[in-house]
Amino acid sequence: MTQSTTTLFRSYLIEEYHLTEEPYYVPVADEVELFEAAYQQRIPLIFKGPTGCGKTRFVEYMSYRLAQPLVTIACHEDLTASDLVGRYLLEGDSTVWIDGPLSRAVKAGGICYLDEIVEARKDTTVLIHPLTDHRRILPVEKRGELLEAADGFLLILSYNPGYQSALKDLKHSTRQRFVSIEFDYPPRDIEAEIIQHESGCSDDDATQLAMLGEKVRNLREHGLGEGASTRLLIYAGKLMSQGIPHRRACQVAVNWAVTDDHAVQRSIEEIIASIFE
């Protein structure tokens, strides 16, 4: 592996970092209190909820609130144990060890967030088990080491139950090592507040977009795989704030984004027309 490749690999591993500005987050229930209680006892957490409902933003918010470094890892089917823990790389004429993002979080005592954990290979997720009980250790087999987690370390997993299948589910041996917090899209008034703040659109537009999101989600019982996320509604609001006509903004940011089914698209188009007359 060349030196330039090694440099790229290092940058890919994402060093732990502290957030310098408070992320905007509006609590919906008691999730803040639950997180703080779990953190004080170093109880690992699982966040379950649909795409774009605020799971990642919440982790960032709590990282800032607790003044803890945060390492976020996007899981995928090719994620290996070496990607998480680290590996030896050639640099010039020598071989050097490069810590993976999980190892960095363990050493730094930070929050490690494994996003969409069910996408990772099951043999990869097993390696986190010793970090989730009284041992709080990470085996590094290639170096014959056991890393003890620094005091502030906390492991958090997330996934979207709506995309689960028999082949993509957490093993019971993994699931029962965590406290689970369920997330959903916020109530209309809170979602409108979030949309307005994040997109810069008017209060009226934000309220109507929140209403749109609520009505589109009701179509899940009529062939829609998953409803419009808060993220998509924010995108629509951003387009509106740039002068894009309301219906067009909703068409490209919401309707065409959530489905390719023409019958469902027509239903959403009717909802958009009824709200944005």
Q: In Å, what is the CA distance from 4 to each residue of 20, 99, 176?
A: 30, 17, 42
Indicate whether 1 pLDDT > 60.
no
Cα torsion angle, 239, 241, 244, 246, sign:
positive
Q: How many helices (H) and strands (E) does the chain have?
A: 13, 9
Span 49-100, pLDDT tens digits: 998 999 999 999 999 999 999 999 999 888 888 999 999 998 888 899 999 9
Could you state, in order of their start, the residue ranges of all structural domains in the chain? 3-182, 188-275
Does the pTM surpass 0.75? The reply is yes
Percentage of the chain beyond pLDDT 90 is 74
Radius of gyration of the chain (CA): 21
CATH number 3.40.1010.10 is the correct assignment for the domain at 3-182 = no
What's the token pair of residue 151?
Answer: 């005091």
Q: Residue 168's pLDDT is what?
A: 65
